[in-house]
Amino acid sequence: MAEQAIKIGIISCAGEELPEGTISRLAVRRVLERLRPGQTVSICLPLFLAGAEGEREFARNYPTITIDGCDKQCAKWGTETYSGAVSAALVVTDILRDRPPLSGARSGRKLTRSDLAAVELVAARLAEALDQAAAASDVSGSVPAEMSPSCGCAVALPAGTIQVNGKTVEIAGLPLIFRQCQEDELAPDHPDTGERLLEVVRVYHVIAETEEQAYQDALAEAYRAYLASQ
């Protein structure tokens, strides 16, 4: 059985409507590439929530840190719901509470010098949490390849669009969610398909109660179209 060196998992905020979500993902990339290369892997939150067993099994058995943009803490909630307690849970708004406000940019290409300094601060805090989790861990040996997270990008997630009440809505990670549902052999016409898709998407995408049914129908229709295009 193929194996790899043990790594600590990081699950980052998937919200793209807030600049703190962008800060969290860029901070994870700094840790992956510069501060602690080879010591950690990122786990895709939408894929995790959609039911990817490799991601969930990793978080059940190995130290996992979540980093959320805001106090909704979607990454922490999702991880603890499906895999158990996390080793540490960081919140960008808490880390940056005493710093100047962010510019509001949601693209890494548009961040100001102050925004980039915030990324470095969050990355440093994340690296500290990583070191503490590693020191406290009693796990030994290697991670089986089938338990390895399948996503290590830590970048903006591929988005998909749906039509809700005549308006176009962009959903971060939607293609990944659809792919996972396809691998799970979720039938597009199953009566629970729309409800399952809604449950995953609403964790990190704000949906008004009055629009739940419209979102559920739109997601089911988009999933049907996705399968037809494969």
Average pLDDT, the chain: 82
The per-residue pLDDT for 75 is 87
* Whole-structure pTM value: 0.70
Q: Which residue has the higher pLDDT, 91 or 7?
A: 91
Residue 197 pLDDT exceeds 70: yes
Closest CA relative to residue 18, chosen from 70, 91, 65: 70
Could you tell me the domains of the chain?
Answer: 3-147 (3.40.50), 159-229 (no CATH)
The per-residue pLDDT for 140 is 55
CB 90 within 8 A of CB 125: yes
Residue 109 pLDDT exceeds 70: no
pLDDT tens-digit readout, 114-139: 889 999 999 999 999 999 998 887 66
| Max mean pLDDT range (49-53, 121-125, 170-174) | 121-125
The per-residue pLDDT for 168 is 92
% residues pLDDT > 90 (the chain): 28
The per-residue pLDDT for 25 is 87
The angle at the Cα of 54, spanning 53 to 59, to the nearest 5 degrees, equals: 95
